Amino acid sequence: MSDFATQVEQLRPQLLRFARTQLRNDAWAEDAVSECTLAALERPHAFAGQSQLKTWLVGILKHKVVDQLRRHTREATILVGEDGEDVDEALFAPDGHWREAPGDWGDPDAACNQRQFFEVLEACCEKLPPVQARVFMMREWLEIESDEICRELRITPSNLWVLLHRARLRLRDCLQLRWFDGAAAKA
Amino acid sequence: MPKNTLSCKEATRLLLEDEDHEIPAADRIALQVHVKICFMCQRFVSQLNLMRRATQAWRKHGESDVDDTP
């Protein structure tokens, strides 16, 4: 194996982890990573060495992840109904007031400078209902435009907003529970 | 409650929509008025800011730092 191939192969576990987080499906993640490494090995000269190899590979992998999502669109169309629980209902009284005041999360830097915070964030994303997780990752991680997500998943913009709305509220709850409630104890 | 003020639930919905796409000007004004006087929604705004920053940082972390984890 060439040096280049060895280096690419060594990064495989990390790429796989990245793809799994995005796709939440091991088989799709394997496929995306295989396609990514294959593409990389086919044109090693395209890697100019300006960025880190890993950054370059992740750039390719993002496209392959989107391809996978595209390919498996049909499986993603069982949509808004997947979330039985009404997130809004849990947060707001019938008159539209907060049932409980949102917590004071303090200085954003304090959280963002801690590696464990990102582990919690990742775990919280993994706990989202699958379709919510998928649209959230597409929007926030892969930075795909809303129009394109709607096209790919064959959903309407209002479907998308409902999904993102719920995803963000659920993430907020999860972060409150798994990070901020305990943060006082950590400090 | 005066007729043209938002409830916290409505304000929250607009704030979340605003994360993703621009909301109509009239809604934005109503939202600003509400948030100005509602400390609970101010907290929610701070939470959204933190989440936005965190996701940005996380995205970068995922691209450039994946190997730091053992």
Give the model confidence (pLDDT) of A11-52 as tens digits.
999 899 888 877 878 999 999 999 999 999 998 888 877 678
Give the model confidence (pLDDT) of A71-93 as tens digits.
876 555 555 556 666 788 899 99
Give the model confidence (pLDDT) of A126-167 as tens digits.
888 888 888 888 888 888 888 888 887 778 898 899 899 999
**Could you tell me the pTM of the whole model?**
0.79
Q: Can you tell me the mean pLDDT for A54-71? A: 86
Give the model confidence (pLDDT) of B36-70 as tens digits.
999 999 999 999 999 999 988 887 765 554 444 43
Any B CB within 8 A of A29 CB: no
Residue B27 has pLDDT above 80, yes or no: yes
- Residue with tokens 């993994």, as numbered in its chain: A126
Rg of chain B on CA atoms, in Å: 16
Q: Which domains does chain A have, with CATH numbers?
A: 3-71 (1.10.1740), 77-186 (1.20.140.160)
Residue A105 has pLDDT above 80, yes or no: yes
Instruction: B18-22: list long-range contacts, CB under 8 Å, 24+ apart.
Output: B19/A164, B19/A168, B19/B48, B19/B52, B20/A139, B20/A146, B20/A160, B20/A161, B20/A164, B21/A146, B21/A161
ipTM, two decimals: 0.84
Cα of A140 to nearest chain B Cα, Å: 7
Residues 157-176 of A with CB under 8 A from B: 160-161, 164-165, 168-169, 171-172, 175
